[in-house]
Each structure stands twice: as C-alpha cells, then as structure tokens.
Amino acid sequence: MRILLVEDEPLVLMDIELQLHEAGYEVISVCDADSAITVLADGTIDVVLTDIDMPGSMDGLMLAEAVRSRWPPVEIVVMSGKRRPAREDLPLRARFIEKPLHTADLLNAVSVW
C-alpha cells in the first residue's frame, strides 16, 4: 500500500514516516497540499494521511475535499493536535486521528480499508 503523508512539521513527518515504514508501508512524504496534489496526479496512492493545519494555498481539510472529488478511490485520514473537525467537515469515508499519534492508532487508521 502506498501512503502519501502530508505534514509540515519536519520532526513529526519523520516520526510518522518511520512508523509507517516499519509497518511495511511505502510512504511518500510532502510538506504541503500543493505538493500532495502533484504526487497524486503523477502516481498511484492508496491513502492520503494529512495534517489539517499547513501553510500554502490549502489546509488539510481542503486537500481532503480535493482528493475525494478528483481521486474518489483514495482513502483519506486527517490528523491534528490542535482541532477536531466536525463530522460534516470531513469528506465521505474520511477518518480523523488526533495527535500526538500512537503507533497502534496510526496503523489502525491507515489499515482499515
């Protein structure tokens, strides 16, 4: 399974990337939504794991909506340590996990499909 990790905090990105690699996932990491859109357009991604609060032209919720409308089969996991979105703010079938991430919660969130 190929996971696109979208996280602007370098240490958090490295930690999550390491956990996913150790669990056997292929991970492509980017630091903003614009880069994520480029990766999605160029390849096959199974899951997008995105932080909500990021710099750039769109936040993680906007990215999740773009993914759902342009790449419907891609699964979406939204994460944040600052705010919890209302269910209606998440795209259809998207999941939310709260930071700091515990390995079991992270792996459960990306492996349920």
* pLDDT digit string (tens) for the chain, length 113 residues: 999 999 999 999 999 999 999 999 999 999 999 999 999 998 799 999 999 998 889 999 999 999 999 999 999 999 998 878 777 788 888 999 999 999 999 999 998 76
φ, ψ of residue 68 to 5 degrees: the values are -60, -35
Helix (H) or strand (E) holding 34: helix 33-42
Distance, CA of 87 to CA of 51 (rounded, Å): 16
Q: Which of the listed CATH numbers 3.40.50.2300, 3.40.50.1100, 1.20.1250.20, 3.40.50.261 matches domain 2-111?
A: 3.40.50.2300
**Alpha-carbon radius of gyration of the chain:** 12
CA–CA dist 110, 59 (Å, integer) = 20
The whole-model pTM stands at 0.94
Number of neighbouring beta carbons within 10 Å of residue 83: 11
